[in-house]
């Protein structure tokens, strides 16, 4: 599982003109799933994101009650080492990835986080205003 985590002043996801998820003063998490990921890896990713000391004063979203916007992002597993056209073979198929993205969201909520989401398999417009800027790549 792979995630890009950003501190944001605001972030939102729009699908067909409708805002389906938005946060202010929190985290934007772009989340990719690969073939070998499991429910346990999803729960570990949720814990890592929630406790990651990326907010002001080296505090975590858990420490400050920051909201989290989770957006599925299979392109995090794109590979363009050969040629100019990326391959997506390392990304898990939607039938595998969607339940694991849902597991991360549910695990974050069980930890007490306010979580917003994008819409799986939708063409999304993701907007964010990065704070810091602080952006990390997490690989599990």
* Residues with Cβ within 8 Å of residue 110, at least 6 apart in sequence: none
Active site residue 75: yes
Q: Of these residues, 14, 34, 74, 117, which one is catalytic? A: 74
CA 53 – CA 60 distance, rounded (Å) = 4
Catalytic residue among 6, 7, 73, 117: 73
Q: What are phi and psi of 69, to 5 degrees?
A: -105, 115
Cα separation of 56 and 49, whole Å? Answer: 15
Q: CA end-to-end span of the chain, whole Å?
A: 5
The catalytic position among 75, 87, 89, 110 is 75
Q: Is 135 a catalytic residue?
A: no
Structure tokens at 74: 């299979």
Residue 44 is a catalytic residue: no
d(CA 22, CA 8): 11
Which pair of tokens denotes residue 132? 């810091």
The answer to whether the beta carbons of residues 2 and 78 sit under 8 Å apart is no
Residues identified as active-site: 73-75
């Amino acid at each position: 599982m792979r995630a890009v985590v950003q501190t944001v002043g605001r972030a939102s996801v729009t699908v067909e003109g409708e805002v389906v998820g938005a946060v202010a003063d929190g985290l934007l998490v772009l989340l990719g799933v690969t073939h070998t990921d499991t429910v346990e890896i999803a729960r570990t990713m949720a814990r890592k994101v929630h406790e990651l000391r990326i907010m002001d004063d080296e505090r975590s979203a858990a420490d400050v009650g920051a909201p989290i916007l989770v957006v599925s992002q299979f392109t995090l597993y794109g590979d363009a080492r050969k040629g100019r056209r990326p391959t997506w073979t390392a990304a898990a198929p939607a039938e595998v990835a969607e339940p694991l993205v849902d597991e991360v969201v549910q695990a974050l909520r069980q930890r007490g986080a306010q979580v917003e989401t994008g819409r799986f398999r939708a063409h999304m417009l993701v907007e964010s205003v990065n704070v810091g800027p602080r952006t990390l790549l997490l690989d599990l």
